[in-house]
């Protein structure tokens, strides 16, 4: 593959639409993770978990509501059915990628950080191949 092709791939991976999708998925995944251990998810919890300002969370919640992923009651955030499905999908990818990377010998800290990045840009084909390989190795 030529350098030009690699440059085009890098630009494709980091275009504005993908950054927005990554942000949406990060918020959904965070809400999902918090909801697994708390009865209610508060916007301040999301703010703390993502280390972003409260106004940033408020803006993101408006976007997620417009996309049909969440509904809010006061400062509480709830995933819709569509939001829950997307959040579970992202979190499943995250867990599988983290396990795959640690199985390769990557440190836990780096595997966690890399999984957070890769989960947003990995193609379905590559993800399914990794999933298949991980299932095969467990049997």
User: Would you identify the CATH topology of the domain 86-138?
Assistant: Diphtheria Toxin Repressor; domain 2 (1.10.60)
pLDDT score at 139: 75
User: Would you identify the CATH topology of the domain 14-80?
Assistant: Arc Repressor Mutant, subunit A (1.10.10)
Q: Residue 53 pLDDT > 70, yes or no?
A: yes
Q: Please indicate, yes or no, whether the overall pTM of this predicted structure exceeds 0.85.
A: no
Q: Residues spanned by CATH 1.10.60.10 within the chain?
A: 86-138
The Cα–Cα gap between 96 and 129 comes to 11
Angle at 131 between CA 129 and CA 134, to 5 degrees: 110
Name the band, by pLDDT with cuts 50, 70 and 90, for residue 114: very high
The Cα–Cα gap between 135 and 139 comes to 6
From residue 124, give the alpha-carbon distance in Å to each of 90, 95, 118.
12, 15, 12
Name the band, by pLDDT with cuts 50, 70 and 90, for residue 137: confident
Q: Residues spanned by CATH 1.10.10.10 within the chain?
A: 14-80
């Amino acid at each position: 593959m030529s350098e030009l092709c690699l440059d085009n791939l890098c630009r494709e991976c980091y275009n504005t639409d993908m950054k927005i999708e990554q942000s949406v998925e990060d918020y959904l995944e965070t809400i999902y993770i918090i909801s697994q251990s708390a009865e209610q998810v508060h916007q301040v919890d999301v703010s703390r978990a993502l280390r972003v300002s409260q106004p940033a969370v408020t803006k993101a919640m408006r976007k997620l509501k417009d996309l049909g992923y969440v509904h809010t009651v006061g400062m509480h955030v709830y995933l819709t059915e569509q939001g829950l499905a997307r959040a579970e999908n992202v979190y499943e990818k995250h867990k599988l990628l983290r396990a795959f990377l640690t199985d390769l010998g990557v440190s836990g800290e780096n595997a966690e950080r890399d999984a957070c990045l890769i989960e947003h840009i990995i193609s379905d084909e590559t993800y399914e191949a990794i999933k298949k390989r991980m299932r095969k190795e467990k049997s």
